Structure 1
């Protein structure tokens, strides 16, 4: 059974099962028809024809010798068997039923005729039956017309009609299964949309009872997840507000309490700690929010990458830009800016040198690709996927890095929100490169292909 490849989809399996059942039922019906209906009818026709031939043989055997020529001319008699007449005529699978009828008739006829009256069948030059009779006491081969029982007598039409009904049954089963499968396809699309961070529309519940129950359960689950997400966002917003308020008061209190000329190192250290707390809060908010509620807007990804690169250059971190021809396409601008900023910040913190940003359009995949790279120490191949996990951080090439380790997890969430992917890979020549692939819609892909 392991060597047999079965379809994986339920739709294909059901269609295959229905086709097999229809085929088996047709074969069984044909076998029953041939064995219990046609075979007895042909046998009765062969018995009747054999009695006719034996009676004719007795009349010819007792005919006067001077009438031999008359009978020979009328019956096409000859002393030797014609070369076209065969003991076992060839079979044709294209004409299965005719072959079956002929062979069954010959077998029955030979069983009913005496041993000294062999039978041959002629197929070339027309269907004829040759039987050796006794004309005036001498053996002669005479040609007789083929009985109707040895021909196809409407059974071909019956078989074709049966096959047509089988095809109609298969087509009807296909349409029924397709109708049943459509709600499952909608369910799969909604589940993919939900897993990507979106909010799918409620599924219709007016289909078959079993499918409707699944749709109702999915709608309830989606509603519960949306309520949980709203509660989580509200809770995080409350926590952020409640923590940032005393942080702001603490900054103000420090500024008022510490006299002018006090230890500046202490002041800088305290301010740094407060900034770290504020940054950690912001990362948690970014990870929880993921931009799902932000509406996509058609924009220029190259302009966004160039603007961020200029900002980093102002801080002393130069990014080499290699921006390909990319037509504007819809994306969530704030989320996309956050994604690029996180990737570029990671390149600065963990790579330090060889910073670069590349963009291009993959026409074959109908997608926009963004790659941010560095020339740092790189990461072992077995650890690349682990870096995308929340709270997982790599080793910095410079000073100790603060943060929560949510940067790449946020990037992957935003990429998935745009139905895209994030891939981390070793860079040619050393270092690490993060590649984000964002699929385009059919219209956007055609536009990008035309511009390319």
Structure 2
């Protein structure tokens, strides 16, 4: 069976700390038993053996009548007591008690003459209840001699042979292990706090935000990580600003000669002289202008737009009406959605790109459906086209990626779905694809209802790829 380690750093550190404390306690207990408790029991057995030998000598030296009278005042028996049964499932406390008792009995027998036998008995509470309400106790039966006859005398177990103090030691060890676990938990929580801040900041960067700088006044290792993250965020911010400025400059510089070229074509080829050439030239110019606009849309994707409460159903219905005016009929299945905050222009661009893809590549069975799923607003744009292979779905969300069926549509640059993906992530949502029941494809967009879109605090943003 494969050992499964805890996944979180907190649980792993606590488990390691508890294991180390438990190992140290076990080693300490072994040292205590071998070097402290065993010598103590040995000394007690020597003293007890001297007492037993003195008692045996005294009773043996007395006249027979006096010896029997003295023995009668003790708890004696003529036959050997039964051996104590072995414990089948001893507890931890019973283990230490049994170990100390066995060590004591063995040492006592070594220090007594061979004819003075030792036997332990714990059946006193079962066969002969203690008188006057006294608690039952373990007893040692020792065979001595009185009036020339061997008799068995019951003597109480010495405290050194009992598990005295072991229970307290075990409880103390368990308390120390719990204290170590609690201390490790508090320390790890203190260490995890900046790590959680770092994770939240990384998610905000992934969503297109520019998070505030992380504090760098903690432990040295955490401070170094936070400082490196702040430097990375600043570098990304500068790189994105440079890229946005470059794209804006390129778009402006290219559109100026495009406008002049369009004007030159119109002046060089008067209407009616070569309409096919004029139409073809204007089509190419329109494609170049569309590609430039897609680059600008991808560079912006709505980061600087202020979120505001809006009705997603109304926005989708408006687009359905606009596409209907262009001859593309969408079935609109309107679900119950509350008013929530989003960037209307960015979300409109998101829906327009998905609807345009459905028109270009699906052509039939065009549908938009909205519904609420818990704290999420969901929108599906579906078609009945030939569909797309499952392995292509995620790839198409990357910039400049186009499907195999896009070769017949040369007016794009492969940024449409990348723009949709960025806008969805900017709102804390997601874009996924799935096969439509009955054939076709469904693009599913999920937008959180209760999460403010990134950048709502008014801080300026730079776009992110």
Normalising by structure 1, what TM-score?
0.90
The answer for the alignment partner of 1:334 in structure 2 is 345
The answer for the alignment partner of 1:196 in structure 2 is 207
CA RMSD for the aligned pairs?
A: 2.5
The answer for the alignment partner of 1:381 in structure 2 is 390
Change (3 A) 1:284 1:152: same
The answer for the alignment partner of 1:224 in structure 2 is 235
Q: Does the 8 Å CA contact 1:50/1:109 hold for their aligned counterparts?
A: yes
CA distance in structure 2 between the partners assigned to 1:443 and 1:345 by the alignment: 28
Deviations 1:328-348 (A, max 9, x none): 233222221111111110000
CA distance in structure 1 between the partners assigned to 2:146 and 2:157 by the alignment: 21
The answer for the alignment partner of 1:322 in structure 2 is 333
Q: Which moved more, 1:279-288 or 1:169-178?
A: 169-178
The answer for the alignment partner of 2:174 in structure 1 is 163
CA distance in structure 2 between the partners assigned to 1:169 and 1:397 by the alignment: 63
Deviation, structure 1 residue 5: 2.2
Deviation, structure 1 residue 29: 0.9
The reply to whether residue 182 of structure 1 matches residue 210 of structure 2 is: no
- Per the alignment, in what secondary structure is the counterpart of residue 425 of structure 1? strand
Q: Which moved more, 1:307-316 or 1:265-274?
A: 265-274
The answer for the alignment partner of 1:447 in structure 2 is none
Q: Does the 8 Å CA contact 1:349/1:401 hold for their aligned counterparts?
A: no
Deviation, structure 1 residue 99: 2.9
The reply to whether residue 421 of structure 1 matches residue 423 of structure 2 is: no
CA distance in structure 2 between the partners assigned to 1:353 and 1:397 by the alignment: 17
Q: Does the 8 Å CA contact 2:81/2:119 hold for their aligned counterparts?
A: no
Deviation, structure 1 residue 253: 4.2
Normalising by structure 2, what TM-score?
0.87
The answer for the alignment partner of 1:248 in structure 2 is 259
- Per the alignment, in what secondary structure is the counterpart of residue 377 of structure 2? strand
Q: Show the 5 A alignment for 1:16-55.
A: 16-55=15-54
CA distance in structure 2 between the partners assigned to 1:280 and 1:397 by the alignment: 15
Structure 1 residue runs of 5 or longer lacking an equivalent are: 445-452
The answer for the alignment partner of 1:304 in structure 2 is 315
The answer for the alignment partner of 2:133 in structure 1 is none
The answer for the alignment partner of 1:86 in structure 2 is 84
Q: Does the 8 Å CA contact 1:422/1:435 hold for their aligned counterparts?
A: yes
- Per the alignment, in what secondary structure is the counterpart of residue 73 of structure 2? helix
Q: Does the 8 Å CA contact 1:350/1:394 hold for their aligned counterparts?
A: no
- Per the alignment, in what secondary structure is the counterpart of residue 75 of structure 1? coil
Deviation, structure 1 residue 104: 1.9
The answer for the alignment partner of 1:144 in structure 2 is 155
CA distance in structure 1 between the partners assigned to 2:159 and 2:294 by the alignment: 91
Q: Show the 5 A alignment for 1:368-447.
A: 368-396=377-405, 400-441=409-450
Deviations 1:108-148 (A, max 9, x none): 12222233333222334222222122221212111112211
CA distance in structure 2 between the partners assigned to 1:438 and 1:131 by the alignment: 86
The answer for the alignment partner of 1:450 in structure 2 is none
Q: Does the 8 Å CA contact 2:145/2:151 hold for their aligned counterparts?
A: yes
Comparing both chains, which one has the higher relative contact order based on Cα–Cα distances under 8 Å and sequence gaps of 6 or more? Answer: 2
The answer for the alignment partner of 1:99 in structure 2 is 98
Deviation, structure 1 residue 11: 3.0
- Per the alignment, in what secondary structure is the counterpart of residue 346 of structure 1? helix
CA distance in structure 2 between the partners assigned to 1:257 and 1:420 by the alignment: 51
Q: Which moved more, 1:229-238 or 1:11-20?
A: 11-20
CA distance in structure 2 between the partners assigned to 1:391 and 1:251 by the alignment: 27
Q: Which moved more, 1:342-351 or 1:100-109?
A: 100-109
Deviations 1:255-292 (A, max 9, x none): 45544544333333333222211110011111222323
The answer for the alignment partner of 2:463 in structure 1 is none
Change (3 A) 1:293 1:20: farther
The answer for the alignment partner of 2:2 in structure 1 is 3
Q: Does the 8 Å CA contact 1:376/1:397 hold for their aligned counterparts?
A: no
Q: Which moved more, 1:268-277 or 1:397-406?
A: 397-406
Structure 2 residue runs of 5 or longer lacking an equivalent are: 126-135, 454-465
Deviations 1:349-400 (A, max 9, x none): 000000111222223xx43322211101111233333322322223559964
Deviation, structure 1 residue 44: 0.7
Q: Which moved more, 1:370-379 or 1:395-404?
A: 395-404
Q: Does the 8 Å CA contact 2:309/2:342 hold for their aligned counterparts?
A: yes
The reply to whether residue 234 of structure 1 matches residue 232 of structure 2 is: no
The reply to whether residue 62 of structure 1 matches residue 67 of structure 2 is: no
The answer for the alignment partner of 2:283 in structure 1 is 272
